[in-house]
Amino acid sequence: MEINKKSRAELKAYFVKNALPTEGNFRDLIDAGLNQKDDGLVKSADQPVQIAASTAGDKPAIHLYESFATDTKPAWVLSLQAGGKKGFCIGDGDGKNRLFIEGATGDIGINGALTVTGGATISGVLSGVPNDYAKAQYTLSGGGTVTWGGRGQKLKWTKRFIAMCAEQGETFSDGHVAISASSASPSIVQDWDDAVRACDADGVVLNDWEALYAVHRPGGDSVAVTFRIVKYGNKFKAPSNWILVATVNAEDNTVKLGTGEILAAKSAIFKGALVPTGTIVMWSGAAATIPDGWAICDGANGTPDLRDRFIVGAGNAYSLGAKGGEATHVLTIDEMPSHHHTALAGMGKDDQNFGGNTASSGERIPFAMSDTPNANEEKTRATGGSKAHENRPPYHALFYIMKL
């Protein structure tokens, strides 16, 4: 800052013994001091110093410098107005208002972070970005089918989680935050070393005591989201725009979702219902309508092939996975019930026909006999078609589907 006033030493040199001060010397002496009327500075007896602010701009009253010799602009500016509002404002030398107390309401505005080392008591309503994200966190829902493999395994969700902030404006341009399905998520960053942890179609690996956060950019659209992983034992800060997706409990090998549900290892949630992986149920809909995370039991995708089959309980006569049975069956002789046929015959002389036998069916069959001794074996008349027979109960076909 340029100083064009005379110093005290220079002024004293004008008024030494035998010197004749000039008009200019007296002008320098007058200009070196402060004038209450010209300079807007008043100090009356028993009164504090009174300073009149400038009428320009935001009405600055005091500029504070660290050094007049080296500084080209003030470090701080005290003004009586900010953005057209009357009040007390502290700004920096770059023209940015850092603290403003509005005169009419007493409201305080801070342009920067506020650090409170002691307690804070709030009697009014809390609003703004932190509160917006707090409300969004409380309403986290969705995720479709969520599966958890256990510690060191993968967490997967098939549909977006959605955080409804109950408002649309400066914080949330779309009125909500959409946390995309894990298979569509970008690479996830570890907070403690900034290393990237990949995420694929099977989800993202989470280890003991790790937590997964979705980080939303304030003011961004619903998908302006990145991901961070933090873990116990490493220092971290979770700002208000971090929304908790899941955290791993190493003690019981569970994962707790930001939605509030808790999944045991190797289990899943389907629309809020817990369904363990490997569960098989019957599906009455078409194959094309089978829900995400499920597959037809056709021998693919790790499923048993249950097409055209009934299920029998394993554990005693049947081992797990045993197969058998026939849709239809033709009886063998050994499988027929034990039975016999009775034949009655008469003895005669000379050549003659006589008698007959009565089969177990009641049918009479004629015999012939001559006087020549002989022996004959006779058979009853054959009947039946040797066709396979149906021994199944009435049925209705459905799909068996398994939880993946």
Q: What is the pLDDT of residues 324-366, one digit of tens each?
A: 888 888 888 888 888 776 665 545 445 454 445 554 555 555 5
- Write down the H helix ranges in 99-193: 129-138
Cα separation of 179 and 290, whole Å?
A: 24
- Residue 101 CB neighbour total at 10 angstroms: 14
Residue 25 pLDDT more than 60?
yes
Sorted by sequence, the CB contacts under 8 Å of residue 82 that are 6+ apart come out as: 58, 89, 91, 97, 100
Residue 396 pLDDT more than 70?
yes
For 83-103, what is the mean pLDDT? Answer: 92
Cα separation of 281 and 273, whole Å?
A: 14
Angle (nearest 5°) at CA 287 between 286 and 288: 90
Listed by start position, the domains of the chain span: 34-110, 130-274, 278-347+395-404
pLDDT for 92 equals: 93
For 212-228, what is the mean pLDDT? Answer: 90
Between 45 and 255, where is the model more confident?
255
pLDDT for 335 equals: 81
Q: Which of 35-39, 77-81, 177-181, 251-255 has the lowest mean pLDDT?
A: 35-39
Cα separation of 13 and 20, whole Å?
A: 11
180 burial via Cβ count (<10 Å: 0-12, 13-18, 19+): middle
Of the spans 35-39, 45-49, 62-66, 376-380, which averages the highest pLDDT?
Answer: 62-66
pLDDT for 354 equals: 47
pLDDT tens digit sequence for 375-385 = 555 666 667 77
Q: What is the SS3 assignment for 277-330?
A: CCCEEEECCCHHHCCCCEEECECCCCCCECCCCCCCCCCCCCCCCCCCCCCCEC
Average pLDDT of the chain, as a whole number: 84
Q: Which residues of 40-52 are buried (b: 16+ CB within 10 A; e: fewer)?
A: eeeeeeeeeeeee
Between 346 and 92, where is the model more confident?
92
Cα separation of 397 and 286, whole Å?
A: 12
Amino acid identity of residue 162, one-letter, is I
- If you ran DSSP here, which 8-state letter would residue 200 be given? B
Residue 52 pLDDT more than 80?
yes
